[in-house]
């Protein structure tokens, strides 16, 4: 038994039954382990949520080739945000909501900006500004911070609406407005 097996098993149970319905004993039974073994690897159910959410930002590194291969800087920027969005959607509104709840009880720093991701995004924004694709001349770090909080706001609304919201489309339109994206790069009306 290892931590990753416990995490994968718990995630499957959370998706099947919902976070609140799954008890630590259910995870132990599914893994054929005892509670002491569970607690040897994981301190709590809440820690599992933190683990899942932290993995979301790390998965961006798996997408680096598509980011590098993108035709323009705005597309690179969108790939980063849309990868994060898709990972949140994969977690589902129940688990994403639990992430907010855990952090509202005690700031677990899950929503802090990650240095490596911030550096990538600021570099992309700066290059987008130089190329004219991003026409907002504001400081790239301030623009990224605004985008990151915008993302969190949309994620909260998506959770509140239990996943029934066109998050990706709304997010993109809002980002286009904030960044003043060159018109030829904006999402077309459908």
Mean pLDDT of successive 10-residue segments in the chain (190 residues)? 93 94 97 96 91 70 73 90 87 92 88 83 95 97 96 96 94 96 81
Residue 190: predicted pLDDT = 45
Token pair for 171: 């997010």
Residue 61: predicted pLDDT = 67
Token pair for 178: 């904030």
Whole-angstrom Cα distance, residue 31 to residue 102?
24
The closest of 137, 115, 118 to 128, measured between CA atoms, is: 137
Q: Residue 185 in contact with residue 73, Cβ under 8 Å?
A: no
Burial class from Cβ neighbours inside 10 Å (0-12, 13-18, 19+) for residue 14 reads: buried
Whole-angstrom Cα distance, residue 6 to residue 107?
24
Q: Model pTM?
A: 0.86
Whole-angstrom Cα distance, residue 35 to residue 123?
46
Whole-angstrom Cα distance, residue 64 to residue 59?
9
């Amino acid at each position: 038994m290892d931590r990753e097996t416990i995490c994968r098993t718990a995630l499957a149970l959370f998706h099947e039954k919902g976070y609140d319905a799954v008890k630590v004993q259910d995870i132990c039974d599914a893994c054929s382990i005892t509670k002491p073994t569970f607690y040897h690897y994981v301190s709590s159910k809440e820690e599992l949520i933190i683990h899942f959410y932290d993995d979301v930002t790390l998965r961006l590194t798996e997408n680096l080739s598509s980011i590098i291969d993108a035709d323009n800087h705005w597309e690179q920027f969108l790939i980063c945000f849309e990868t994060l969005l898709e990972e949140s959607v994969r977690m589902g509104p129940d688990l994403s909501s639990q992430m907010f709840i855990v952090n509202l009880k005690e700031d677990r720093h899950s929503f802090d900006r990650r240095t490596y991701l911030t550096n990538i995004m600021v570099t992309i924004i700066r290059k987008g500004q130089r190329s004219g694709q991003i026409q907002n001349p504001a400081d790239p770090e301030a623009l990224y911070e605004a985008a990151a909080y915008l993302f969190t706001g949309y994620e909260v609304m998506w959770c509140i609406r239990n996943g029934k919201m066109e998050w990706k489309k709304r997010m993109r339109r809002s980002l286009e407005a904030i960044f003043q994206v060159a018109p030829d790069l904006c999402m077309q009306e459908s």
